[in-house]
Structure 1
């Protein structure tokens, strides 16, 4: 190649010129093809997309054009990829319309992800309602409702719709122990959508009762239970009744592929009954006919991720929108469930007194006044002679459950002489013993208490060297019972070792609350120890939670079994067990809450953050009429909390105001404040 003195461009060889020309032609063809693909379709060319972006002020629908190439795939409910703020973002296509209100140029959809319309109109409306109630965003709610896509599962061919139906005479017989049970299942089968708050008798086979009701429902059914063990029990009951191919389970620990497969089976109408934990409340069952939540007072029903919705409230909102029947059940009754009955939104569904008397006899025992006066932590006050008698009588017929509220061995230690709590000499933490053969050490810093047997420890009050255990856990309890009943198997369940089931033969099962194994055929006797530990907790739901835990344990007894409570017979919580009156106890708790202006008589929200952030938030908050601002209360050195309380009639306005607050703070990029509406606890 040469160039002249005038600086003209060098002459390119013929091959190079042809290569450049071909490249330019390909580039022009690519631009023309992309322009043609980006050309909007003529029918409903505007896609309204909910873009999955973080800031709360962007929780709104954005318009995009639908290219001709995506006209068929871009259906309402599908996942899409769009261009947002210069980056590719995920979103859901909510609807397609003919025109847009946006005056400027619209970006086209980049692509459609998958072939399934995973967001149904009902779930889209539900997510909007839940986001408004809990001052959250729709995208946060949809992360709880729609599982991540699994491409290989989505390619699997669909199955056939399930055809299992219930047996009305059989269901009426199963529900015959309840005063209005047969009427409830008849109304459900007839499509009248009854709403009830249900407390079965102790020993009732509640999974089978739920399965009978679910099979009679003339449409989709959602059954939400606290954990995977309850899911397995309800699923087994449905299978026994011939609904193995009509139901599916949805749990968080199922794995991505299995969970998405179950989700698609429900979405496609292959399964009409869903059994699961929290996320199952959003299952896209078509034509929802029955929504069930079991043991709604369990804290596992409270979602730990924003916007922190509760399973019960999600199902109630969904049933209200879709006109479904509702069943809120449990051996105990929460004050929120009682409020549904109090307001007439739901009706009582209770067992007959004859059924209760035939199912269980509950006795109360404790130390005598003289024993307690001499030593409030005496061994006789924890396990008096009546406990050993009840265990001995129960072992003659089958397994016996002993419930104790503490895990471990010797949870707290005290001076043997003066009962002063034993403290660590290094950090003043409490001394404890993890196992029978382990050393006594501090629970905070693990520093040993002198010699392995703590003989080097000295009481600062009286100078004594001996230690005793006023509070012990399930391991120490099992050890004591094992010495008293040699030759009888003793099993523990709690902490990281939870036993799911025990056989129907004599054995002692020592468990912590929530870890009780299910006994085949039921327990012959159930013993509740250390009730004072539950009733002494300074919490809003302390007594309510105690009754719930105790009722769940007593509910595992076999018909005609015995319950023994070691505690104060005059306490209202203990009396509710003796009478088996969960409705009466919940009513009493609700009356006290009403007098104190506490939920459910009112609605409240907590705002947690730094003091500066809370001050800014309260300035921006447009609280509804009658709102009370309580606090701020320091939580630690850097974080404080404010409680905003309003009358129940203004609860919707409170959620809306807090949602606007979140959007305003996000738009100004202020320091985040955690907002939780109707938290399960204020402790």
Structure 2
């Protein structure tokens, strides 16, 4: 670390390029630009582009990043001196600085906020550790046979190191996706280029790491929030120093400083875990798109299902389809059966009826267990009975203190899911009724019922705080919530998806898309129909999301959704931003936004269900926190972001108070 020169001591500018352009990490829109500072000759060696520095700004010392050094400043006034170089380790090279600037502009945020997402906190002891030597062993080009099911994959793999292709990959059911992604990474590494592979959560990351190790060895590292600060920073430094070629990780790994980046992969981009909760809320898929464009590298967005945003890239011609032919899709898919829970074929067996299993599903489960294969039951909620309603009018049962949803535990006690307050004498606020009924049955209650229906068969639950990663082979019943399904070697013999209406009936633009994604994630783990695999969806077969799974046609469903949103004016067919906060604050902010021609403001309306109010306004969340949506033509997306930044600057410079949240492409619209 270069300390500041002694107070009152003579200072002399560095002999070469003595002016440093420093970005103060302040998070304020009107200060989101570099400021010029003089670099002392004693700091010259350490003050390289990209290092952390401390500068005096408005009378106080603040953190900053040295973005550049120049010979002269365009500022005509007197320049302040760089206080000190925190560390000689450059953490933000020019390429990543350009990416951070582009992400900030895309999401109407500040570059300093993006840098906080991209660069982990410094760990001084780790930084001083000498860098490990990278492996010199060459990486063999993997056998591309695993990609033979996808006709265009051969040309994609061949052109990865030259023309930097971009594709949206539709994985077939029962596909070993970690192995396929490992082969992509090894193909990039064999050509001498780096790769970044992003997955939603730690369980996916563990599977991917296990698949990559045989091909890449020590040439890859994992980055995830669960690592301690020292381990995370050490691995991040290994990527920045070029001692590893491939980074595997969760959300923030998309910013990994990989040298000579040749490939970025984002798996299952519709997963909620990839939604960034911190400003400016960039989605890894969009960051990957920006990096692929700026750094000229290949890009793959993959999954069992397809998001409308990924499909829009194909529709625009920016990316290509990477899909299997229909014969292969049918051969690899389980037999899909859909029927309503009110269907005439509900099991006559009273134990099956109590478990809400239609006869066909019950028979499929019994057949799989008889074949010594595990069976998966997917339920939308954890707990016992996590959602209740009035038995008379069907209105949702709410806590009289905080208005949160009431739940029923295994002991028969009613309490609030939000504040935990017990409810000893329920009375419906709508009709005055005193009886309750279950809206959904949780994983624990379902496991009890299945234990009676399948006597003698081991029952395993996965969800909430207790998530099981792997399930042993053999006859057993697994009850899991969406996203918590254990991996079964060889696949499940059958899977049954219950209480589907709880996913389809959400008042959310993405309800159908999310349901298809979750159901296909379950169906992707079931054995092909040629091996006896069956997927039963307890839902009306006439619904479009159910039909998409029956046909196993995520591309067609995404295209249908995209066409509907284009007709109705919803993202991604249009550019949209949300402004959340107290009514007076968001109205004043929106009034200062100069929308492009044709732009419109929608609202104000209450925040959609499940969306938390902006930080600092929780106490006002009694109906006073609302949302205004701003909608413009897709081609005016950059102009909308720029207008939002200008409004933020106006708000900051006029010292307007009251917390608000400005979010481009909000994940939940309502």
Same fold by TM-score greater than 0.5: yes
1:211 aligns with 2:188: no
Task: Establish whether residue 504 from structure 1 lines up as the match of residue 491 from structure 2.
Answer: no
Instruction: Quote the offset at 1:182 in angstroms.
Output: 2.2
2:331 aligned to which of 358, 363, 384: 358
CA distance in 2, matches of 1:165, 1:127: 32
Aligned to 1:530: 499
Moved more, 556-565 or 222-231: 556-565
Q: Could you tell me which residue of structure 2 aligns to residue 615 of structure 1?
A: 587
String of CA shifts for 1:495-535, please: whole Å, max 9, x gaps. 11111111112111100101111112221211111222222
Alignment of 1:32-47 (within 5 A): 38-47=11-20
- Which of the residues 378, 393, 397 maps onto 1:403? 378
Contact 1:394 1:524 in 2 (8 A): yes
User: Match for 1:137 among 104, 110, 117?
Assistant: 110
Question: Could you tell me which residue of structure 2 aligns to residue 674 of structure 1?
Answer: 661
Which residue does 2:560 correspond to in 1?
588
Q: Give the distance between the partners of 1:149 and 1:458, measured in 2 at CA.
A: 54
644-653 vs 96-105, which moves further: 96-105
Q: Is residue 479 from structure 1 mapped to residue 451 from structure 2 by the alignment? A: no
Asked whether the 8 Å contact 2:577–2:666 carries over to 1, the reply is: yes
Structure 1 counterpart of 2:363: 389
Mapping of residues 323-472 of structure 1, within 5 Å: 323-359=296-332, 360-367=334-341, 379=353, 382-395=356-369, 396-413=371-388, 432-435=407-410, 437-441=411-415, 446-449=421-424, 469-472=438-441
Query: 2:604 matched to 1:628?
Result: no
Q: Which has the larger radius of gyration?
A: 1
The alignment's TM-score, normalised by the length of structure 2, stands at: 0.90
Equivalent residues of 2:468, 2:485 under 8 A apart: yes
Shift of 1:204: 0.7
How far residue 633 of structure 1 moved from its aligned partner, in angstroms, is 2.3
Question: Could you tell me how far 1:415 is from its partner in structure 2?
Answer: 7.5
Q: CA offsets per residue over residues 232-268 of structure 1, 9 Å max, x none? A: 1111100132x12011111112111001001100001
Change (3 A) 1:38 1:629: same
Tell me how far 1:274 sits from its aligned partner. Answer: 0.6
- Measured after TM superposition, the shift of residue 163 of structure 1 is 4.4
Task: Spell out, residue by residue over 1:292-314, the C-alpha distance to the aligned partner (whole angstroms, 9 max, x if none).
Answer: 10011112212111111111000
8 Å CA contact 1:165, 1:216 repeated in 2 = no
Supply the distance in 2 between the matched residues of 1:32 and 1:160 (Cα, whole angstroms): 35
Q: Is the 8 A contact 2:354 2:449 kept in 1?
A: no
Deviation at 1:447, TM superposition (A): 3.6
**Unaligned stretches of 5+ in structure 1?**
1-30, 373-377
CA distance in structure 1 between the partners assigned to 2:569 and 2:390 by the alignment: 43
Note the alpha carbon deviations across 1:361-418, whole angstroms, 9 max, x for none. 212233466689xxxxx958941111211111111232111101122112345678x6
Unpaired runs of at least 5, structure 2: 347-351, 608-621
User: In the alignment, is residue 230 of structure 1 matched against residue 204 of structure 2?
Assistant: yes
How many angstroms apart in 2 are the aligned matches of 1:625 and 1:421?
43
How many angstroms does 1:595 deviate by?
A: 0.3
Structure 2 residue 178 is the aligned partner of structure 1 residue 192 = no
Tell me, in whole angstroms, the C-alpha distance in 1 between the residues paired with 2:172 and 2:99. 34
Which has the larger displacement, 256-265 or 396-405?
396-405
Match of 1:294 in 2: 267
Q: Is the contact between residue 579 and residue 628 of structure 2 (CA under 8 Å) also seen in structure 1? A: yes
Contact 1:165 1:215 in 2 (8 A): no
Provide closer, same or farther for how the CA distance between residues 424 and 537 of structure 1 changes in structure 2, counting only shifts above 3 A: closer
Conserved? CA contact 1:56–1:662, under 8 Å: yes
Residues 304 and 517, structure 2, Cα contact 8 Å, conserved in 1: yes
2:626 is matched with 640
Aligned to 1:153, what secondary structure does the other structure show?
A: helix
**Which digits, 9 at most, give the CA deviation of each residue in 1:440-488, with x for residues without a partner?**
45657644546xxx9xx999989997x6545211111111111111111
Cα 1:412–1:133 change in 2 (3 A) is closer
Corresponding residue SS for 2:63: strand
Q: Give 1:602 deviation, angstroms.
A: 0.2
Cα distance change, pair 662–461 in 1 and its aligned pair in 2 (3 A)? closer
Post-superposition offset of 1:55: 2.5
| Cα pair distance change 1:625/1:68, threshold 3 Å | same
Deviation of 1:110 after TM superposition, in Å, equals 1.6
* Residues 164 and 246 in structure 1, CA contact (< 8 A), matched pair in contact too: no
Whole-angstrom CA distance in 1 between matches of 2:605 and 2:389? 33
Per-residue deviation, 1:41:
1.6
User: Contact 2:408 / 2:415 at 8 angstroms: preserved in 1?
Assistant: yes
* TM-score computed with the length of structure 1 as normaliser: 0.88
Q: Given the alignment of the two structures, is residue 77 of structure 1 paired with residue 50 of structure 2, yes or no?
A: yes
Aligned counterparts, 1:27-176, within 5 A: 38-163=11-136, 167-168=140-141, 170-176=142-148
Deviation per residue, 1:65-110 (Å, 9 max, x gap): 1111111111001111111111111111111110011122211112
**Of residues 227, 238, 247 in structure 2, which corresponds to 1:254?**
227
Q: 1:577 to 1:46 in 2, by over 3 A?
A: same
User: What secondary structure is seen at the aligned counterpart in 2 of 1:410?
Assistant: coil
Name the residue aligned to 1:653: 639
Over residues 536-556 of structure 1, what are the superposed CA-to-partner deviations in whole Å (9 max), with x where a residue is unaligned? 222100100000111111112
CA distance in 2, matches of 1:429, 1:502: 35
Q: Is the 8 A contact 1:171 1:182 kept in 2?
A: no
